[in-house]
Amino acid sequence: MKKFFTVLLLGIAILTFTFSHSALAADAASGAKVFSANCAACHAGGKNLVQAEKSLKKEALDKYGMYSKDAIIAQVTNGKNAMPAFKGRLKTEQIEDVATYVLEQAEQGWK
């Protein structure tokens, strides 16, 4: 019986890690499309055309306390300074996908 539970838990763990990775990839792919349509005008290639020092590069995100999914979601949702709020324009899921995409790109150096 103990062996059964061990195998069962191992199977659950494998399925969880297998499917959660593909879900993240789908979020980033969706986020790329949303980013392209709504954000790239000011943030193409991770840059910031309004305030150059506040780019979407990993170093700048970290420096300004924005290197987390929650911080990016709050910024995109509510806007701040020159950045408009997208709360009424994008669905919550789309904003979460954009945050995933931005973090992924920042990690990869916006290639």
Using DSSP, state whether 80 is helix, strand or coil: strand
The Cα–Cα gap between 21 and 6 comes to 23
The answer to whether 21 is annotated as binding is no
Is 83 labelled as part of a ligand binding site? yes
Measured on CA atoms in the order 39, 61, 85, 92, is the torsion positive or negative?
positive
Is 1 annotated as a binding-site member? no
Assess contact for 101 and 35: CB atoms under 8 A: yes
Binding site members for heme c: 39, 42-43, 83
Binding residues: 39, 42-43, 83
